[in-house]
C-alpha cells in the first residue's frame, strides 16, 4: 500500500524514467504468465520474453542520459526499443513508444493533457506500423484504453492512468470476442496482457509504489580480450566499431534550426555500416571506421558526448573466430540472410544453399532488430535478401530493413522453415532485377506446403482434433492435422493428412529431440507407404519442431 495523497499534474523526465523502470519491472516479474497465453498448443509462448527484452533495451538507453528533457528521455527509449525489438509483439510495442516519443518530442515536461496526446500519437503509430491491423490484439487494447481515458485528460496523472489501466483490463477481457483463435484457445491476447503489465508499472511509479520486483540489472557478460591477438606488427584490417551519444549544445548550434543531416552526411562519408538517429538534442551514431578519432573530434564541433564506445574490430575478429564476419573490399550484387537454430540447419543453409549469414533464432528465440543489423554489417552487397522463416520474425526483419542504410534490404516473408528452404533453393544470383527477384521469391515462398510435428504444451481441442499435453501434434500452418501420444505416429498421420504420396519429393528436417533410430524408422515407414515418393532426410537439430516436412 502507499500513503501518497498529493496528486501529480506534471510529467517530468525523472518521473517518466521511473515509469519505464517500473513498467519493465512489472513485465519482467510477469513475463512467464504472458508467455503462457500462447494460442497454439506448442511451446511457442515467447511474447512476454520478447516484450521484456524490447522494453529493457529502451529503458537501458534512456537511463544513460540523465538530466535530459522529457522529450529526450522518451526519444532515447524509443530508439533503444527500435533496436531491441523482437517478435511481432516487441515490434508493435516499439512503435507504441515511438508514437509516444513523437507526441512528447521537444517538451521539457508536460501535463496530463500532453501525455494523453502522446498516447493518441502512440495509437496512431502502432496502427500505422501494421499493414493489415487485426482487432483483438495489443492494437485494440492500447486504442480502446486510450479512448476510454480521454475524458480524464484534464485531471491528474493518477486519475488518467487509472482510467488507462481500467480500459486495458476491460479491452483485454473482451479480446476473445474479437479474435476467434483466442476464443478457441480460451485465452486473452498475450501482447495486450504484456502491455497491461507495463502500464501497471507506470501506475506504480506515479503512485509512488515500489514494485515488489524492481527492474533487474541488465545482465553483463564479462569480456575477456586476448591482447596477444593484436601485437606490434598486426595490421588494422577491419577498423573500429564506434558508437556514441552526442548532445547538441546551444552554445555551438541553434537547436531550433539545426539540420542533423550535416552530421549524418559527414558520418556517411567517414565510414560504413552507419546507423544514425536524432532524438531531441541527442544524436546516436554507430559507424565502422579506421579513424574514430577524426570522427570524435569533428562531431565535437556540434556538441558534447554523453557516451563513447570504440572497439577494435580486428581484435574482435580474431578473438571471436569470425573469419567470415568482415566485409570484403568489393560489394557483390546479391547476398542472403536467413534465421535458423540448430547446427544441422546452419550447415544446410550455408553449405547446401549458400547463405551468407545465419541469424541465430526461431521458435521461442526471436532475434532482435540489432541482431539482423549485425548480420547485415558482415556482408558487402548492394542487395541483401532476408528469409525470417517464422511468422513472428517477419516484422522484426522489416523494421531492421527500414533503419539499415548500407544496402537495400529485401524481406521475403517466409513464415516457416519450408518456405525459407524452397525460396533459397530457387535464389537466382544472376537475376538482372532485384525487385523482380523479390517478387518471384515471395510468390514461391507463398506456395510451399510445409508441416511440422511438435510436442503439445497443453490440453485443448483445435480444428476438431483432441490435443493432450505431453503428446505430439502434426500441423500445417495454423491447422492441427494429427495428434498422438507418440511422435512417430503423429508424424505418419500428418504425412497422410498432407497427401504426401501425391508429391514427387518430401524433404524431412529432423529436430534436436528426434532420435536417429526413430528418424530412420520414420523414413522406412514412409518409403513403404508411398513408394513413388522420394523422402530425403536431413538432420537440422532445431528445437520445438521435432520433424519438419517440406512437400515438393
pLDDT tens string 125-174 = 999 988 788 999 999 999 999 999 999 999 999 999 999 999 999 999 99
Residues 542 and 511: beta-carbon distance below 8 Å: yes
Question: Which of 25-34, 301-310, 380-389, 453-462 has the highest average model confidence (pLDDT)?
Answer: 380-389
Q: Which residue has the higher pLDDT, 53 or 241?
A: 53
Phi-psi region of 211 (alpha: psi -120 to 50; beta: other; left: phi over 0): beta
- Each residue's pLDDT tens digit, 116-137: 999 999 999 999 988 788 999 9
Cβ(63)–Cβ(55) below 8 Å = no
pLDDT of residue 46: 81
Q: How far is CA 227 from CA 158, 234, 282, 311, in A?
A: 54, 11, 34, 13
Q: Is the pLDDT of residue 319 over 70?
A: no
Grid look-up 524452397 returns 422
Could you give the domains of the chain?
10-207 (1.25.40.340), 238-318 (3.30.70), 326-446 (3.40.50.510), 449-551 (3.30.1180)
Asked if 388 and 414 touch (Cβ cutoff 8 Å), the reply is yes
CA pseudo-torsion sign 231, 233, 237, 241: positive
For residue 363, pLDDT over 80 is answered with: no
Instruction: Find the mean pLDDT for residues 28-50.
Output: 80
Helices (H), 11-156: 13-35, 47-62, 70-84, 87-104, 112-128, 138-149
328 pLDDT tier (thresholds 50, 70, 90): low
Q: What pLDDT score does 329 carry?
A: 53
149 burial class (0-12, 13-18, 19+ CB within 10 angstroms)? buried
DSSP strand pairing (505-510 vs 357-360): unpaired
Distance between CA atoms of residues 498 and 453, nearest Å: 13
In this prediction, residue 1 has a pLDDT band, given cuts at 50, 70 and 90, of: very low
Using the predicted structure, report yes or no on whether residue 361 has a pLDDT greater than 50.
yes
Residue 400 near residue 366 (C-beta atoms within 8 A)? no
Nearest in space to 515 (alpha carbons), one of 482, 534, 491: 491
Mean pLDDT of the chain: 87
Q: Which range in 115-119, 365-369, 392-396 is most confidently predicted, on average pLDDT? A: 115-119
Minimal CA–CA distance to 254: which of 276, 278, 282, 281? 281
pLDDT confidence bin for 42, thresholds 50/70/90: low
pLDDT for the residue numbered 459: 86
387: cell is: 528469409
* Mean pLDDT, rounded, for 498-521: 92
Least confident of 24-33, 41-50, 64-73, 512-521: 41-50
- The rounded distance, in Å, linking the Cα atoms of 169 and 167 is 5
Amino acid at each position: 500500500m502507499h500513503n501518497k495523497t498529493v496528486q501529480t499534474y506534471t510529467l517530468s523526465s525523472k518521473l517518466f524514467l521511473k515509469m519505464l523502470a517500473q513498467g519493465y519491472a512489472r513485465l519482467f516479474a510477469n513475463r512467464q504468465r504472458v508467455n503462457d497465453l500462447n494460442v497454439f498448443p506448442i511451446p511457442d509462448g515467447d511474447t512476454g520474453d520478447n516484450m521484456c527484452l524490447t522494453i529493457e533495451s529502451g529503458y537501458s538507453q534512456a537511463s544513460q542520459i540523465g538530466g535530459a528533457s522529457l522529450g529526450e528521455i522518451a526519444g532515447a527509449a524509443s530508439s533503444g526499443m527500435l533496436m531491441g525489438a523482437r517478435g511481432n509483439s516487441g515490434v508493435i510495442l516499439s512503435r507504441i513508444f515511438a508514437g509516444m516519443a513523437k507526441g512528447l518530442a521537444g517538451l521539457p515536461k508536460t501535463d496530463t493533457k500532453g501525455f494523453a496526446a502522446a498516447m493518441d500519437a502512440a495509437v496512431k503509430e502502432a496502427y500505422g506500423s501494421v499493414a493489415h491491423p487485426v482487432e483483438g490484439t495489443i492494437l485494440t487494447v492500447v486504442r480502446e484504453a486510450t479512448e476510454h481515458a480521454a475524458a480524464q485528460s484534464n485531471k491528474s496523472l493518477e486519475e488518467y492512468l487509472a482510467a488507462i489501466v481500467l480500459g486495458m483490463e476491460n479491452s483485454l477481457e473482451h479480446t476473445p470476442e474479437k479474435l476467434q483463435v483466442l476464443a478457441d484457445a480460451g485465452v486473452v491476447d498475450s501482447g495486450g496482457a504484456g502491455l497491461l503489465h507495463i502500464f501497471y508499472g507506470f501506475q506504480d511509479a506515479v503512485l509512488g509504489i515500489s514494485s515488489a520486483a524492481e527492474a533487474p540489472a541488465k545482465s553483463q557478460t564479462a569480456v575477456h580480450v586476448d591482447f596477444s591477438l593484436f601485437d606490434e606488427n598486426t595490421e588494422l584490417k577491419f577498423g573500429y566499431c564506434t558508437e556514441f551519444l552526442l548532445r547538441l549544445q546551444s552554445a555551438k548550434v541553434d537547436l531550433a534550426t539545426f539540420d542533423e543531416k550535416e552530421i549524418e552526411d559527414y558520418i556517411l562519408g567517414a565510414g560504413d555500416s552507419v546507423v544514425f538517429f536524432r532524438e531531441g538534442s541527442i544524436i546516436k551514431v554507430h559507424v565502422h571506421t579506421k579513424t574514430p578519432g577524426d570522427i570524435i573530434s569533428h562531431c565535437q564541433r556540434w556538441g558534447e558526448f554523453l557516451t563513447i564506445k570504440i572497439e577494435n574490430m580486428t581484435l574482435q575478429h580474431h578473438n571471436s573466430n569470425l573469419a567470415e564476419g568482415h566485409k570484403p573490399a568489393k560489394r557483390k550484387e546479391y547476398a542472403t540472410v536467413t534465421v535458423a537454430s540448430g547446427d544441422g540447419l546452419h550447415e544446410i543453409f550455408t553449405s547446401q544453399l549458400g547463405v551468407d549469414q545465419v541469424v541465430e533464432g526461431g521458435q521461442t528465440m526471436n532475434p532482435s532488430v540489432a541482431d539482423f543489423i549485425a548480420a547485415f554489417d558482415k556482408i558487402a552487397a548492394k542487395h541483401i535478401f532476408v528469409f525470417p522463416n517464422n511468422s513472428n520474425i517477419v516484422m522484426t526483419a522489416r523494421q531492421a530493413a527500414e533503419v539499415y542504410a548500407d544496402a537495400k534490404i529485401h524481406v521475403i516473408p517466409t513464415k516457416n522453415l519450408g518456405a525459407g528452404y524452397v525460396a533459397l533453393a530457387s535464389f537466382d544470383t544472376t537475376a538482372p532485377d532485384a525487385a523482380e527477384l523479390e517478387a518471384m521469391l515471395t510468390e514461391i515462398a507463398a506456395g510451399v506446403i510445409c508441416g511440422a510435428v511438435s510436442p503439445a504444451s497443453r490440453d485443448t481441442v483445435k480444428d476438431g482434433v483432441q490435443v493432450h499435453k505431453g503428446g505430439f501434434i502434426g500441423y500445417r500452418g495454423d491447422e492441427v492435422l494429427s495428434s498422438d501420444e507418440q511422435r512417430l505416429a503423429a508424424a505418419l498421420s500428418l504425412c497422410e493428412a498432407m497427401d504426401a504420396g501425391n508429391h514427387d519429393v518430401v524433404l524431412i528436417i529432423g529436430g534436436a529431440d528426434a532420435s536417429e533410430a526413430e528418424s530412420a524408422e520414420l523414413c522406412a515407414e514412409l518409403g513403404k507407404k508411398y513408394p513413388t515418393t522420394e523422402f530425403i532426410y536431413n538432420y537440422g537439430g532445431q528445437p520445438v519442431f521435432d520433424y519438419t516436412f517440406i512437400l515438393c
